[in-house]
Structure 1
Amino acid sequence: MTTFDIGDIVKGLRAARSDWRESQGRARENGGRELPSPQALERIVEQIKGALFPMRLGPPDLRNEAEDFYVGHTLDAALRGLLAQAVLEACQASRRGDGLTEGVKERAAGMVREFAQSLPAIRRMLDTDVLAAWQGDPAARSVDEVLLCYPGVLAMIHHRMSHRLYELGLPLLARIVSEIAHSRTGIDIHPGATIGPGFFIDHGTGVVIGETCVIGERVRLYQNVTLGAKRFPVGEDGQLTKGLPRHPIVEDDVVIYAGATVLGRVTIGRGAVIGGNVWVTHDVPAGGSVAQARNDEGRGLS
């Protein structure tokens, strides 16, 4: 039987951890986990999704007369779990000197309380996304099919939650929630992106929406669309400058077809249409269109 020298491997891994912590200026602390758990957050998100849509995303044996009891019981468990994860992030931020030094637990509790109070508004916003998908796809048979089956809707359920966490000062929790959806759908939406109501991603795989994107109402994207940054400014220390607006502004009623790439802090005007497989690095006026140039046209902007 093959044997392994587990003791030496354990020592080697301990040394690697110690070197990493020393290089990052982190002292080893006794106690439990220091960072939020993706596994715990995945369970919490599933609970919140069930509370948002109990008769569609809740347990299969749920009956109408028990809806409110289920929602209350499930939210209580989910929010308690979310608070534990928020405290971990807040404590970590405090250790880094990010401003959370006093009353860490109280501040984390306040963030989770505000998130909980946002859930009815998040549900109403998601209703507009579901309706946009049903109205925008001739293959959709019902709003129930859209909610249960469409990857773009799943991505938006996660994004509406993650964006609120991001706004409240919990960017790590927000990023984990968004990456759960990314792994399931292939749709990568940074939680910092601001997206208006009635947003529809058709098919969805390969869509990328950057952190500082601002997207208006009733916008529709198709698969493999990128709303990204054109360049990344570097500071005097040689590090990337973070937080600058660097992604597109997409105004109301814009349609962007499959494979289009829109880069930089450009504005796509209200009602514009961006054709498939084009590369856009300039503003597009309201009502304008961009398409691949044809031999008889010579240019792509009309």
Structure 2
Amino acid sequence: MDHKAIIAKINKHKKQPNLRFRLKNRTETFTDTLFYTLFDIETPVEDNLHVLEAMFEELVDLACWESEKPCKKVWKNYVEKLPGILEKLNKDAEATVNCDPASLSIEEVYMAYPGFYAIAIYRLAHELYTIGFPLVPRLMTEYAHRQTGVDINPGAQIGNSFHIDHGTGVVIGETAIIKDHVKIYQGVTLGGLYVAKHLQKTKRHPTIEDNVTIYANATILGGNTVIGANSIIGGNAWLTASVPSDSTVFHTPEIKIKTLSNA
């Protein structure tokens, strides 16, 4: 097969007219700039908001494929929400300082804690998601996922003072609801009981009430599953049904120890 024929075949199979990976790269740059604007004391807020607006206009041009949707109005609405998002994120950082005896300072949380970074990008993405601009928020949270190992869908609803410790392997699904003062550890999954395309518009993921702690590698599945307030879910627990308030749930493994005498 000659060179022109190869090119023709490749072009024939490039079927997605809106698939521009430039959008992914630009979203990552926008996400970094937004994070620095909110948190870095040396980054001028006023100047950077102008930079971010120009970046966002490019994202709109790349990602808003349906011309009848008013994507151009999204930025103004979004900027108005930034102070409230920052206030929530400061509460998240304070929750981490108060929960984790290993934290030396709140500055360490902002700069070095993957759980906080994942929550920050989730909160910044969630507001874009709720005002009807879905692809860019998904790219933002996937960028955080790649860096931290924490996968939070931008559609999830998460309350105040949320703490993720360690973080790696955490999965929080699109329709999960997490209320205030919740703590979760590495490997926790808040997922769907089963996967089917027709469930797209239904609540597929669990609800976690106030003051719940979920320890490492626990799996909680199903849209009707509610973990009651003030409960503790132990490590490696597997739940597909609701738990009342003030419960303690734990997994008891069977442990067998082989020695030379009974091997």
The corresponding residue for 1:74 is 48
SS class of match (2:199)? coil
The corresponding residue for 2:8 is 11
Give me the whole-angstrom Cα distance separating, in 1, the residues matched to 2:74 and 2:221: 33
Cα distance, 1:247 vs. partner?
A: 0.4
The corresponding residue for 1:278 is 237
Structure 2 residue 192 is the aligned partner of structure 1 residue 195 = no
More deviation, 116-125/6-15: 6-15
From 91, 113, 130, the counterpart of 1:150: 113
Deviations 1:15-42 (A, max 9, x none): 212xx35xxxxxx69xxx8687011111
Structure 2 residue 250 is the aligned partner of structure 1 residue 287 = no
The corresponding residue for 1:226 is 189
Cα distance, 1:75 vs. partner?
A: 1.3
Task: Give the AA of the match of 1:292.
Answer: H
Structure 2 residue 243 is the aligned partner of structure 1 residue 243 = no
Structure 1 stretches of 4+ with a deviation exceeding 4 A read 33-36
- TM-score after normalising by structure 2: 0.90
- Give the unaligned 5+ runs of structure 1: 22-27, 56-61, 95-99, 234-238, 296-302
Structure 2 residue 238 is the aligned partner of structure 1 residue 258 = no
**Please, what is the CA RMSD of the aligned residues?**
2.0
Structure 2 residue 58 is the aligned partner of structure 1 residue 84 = yes
Q: Describe how 1:56-75 pairs up with structure 2 within 5 A.
A: 62=42, 70-75=44-49
More deviation, 72-81/257-266: 72-81
- TM-score after normalising by structure 1: 0.79
Cα distance, 1:47 vs. partner?
A: 1.1
Cα distance, 1:5 vs. partner?
A: 6.2
The corresponding residue for 1:215 is 178
Q: Percent identity?
A: 35
Q: Report how many residues are paired.
A: 253
Cα distance, 1:8 vs. partner?
A: 3.9
Q: 1:294 to 1:34 in 2, by over 3 A?
A: closer
Cα distance, 1:122 vs. partner?
A: 0.7
From 163, 178, 199, the counterpart of 2:126: 163
Q: 1:53 to 1:16 in 2, by over 3 A?
A: same
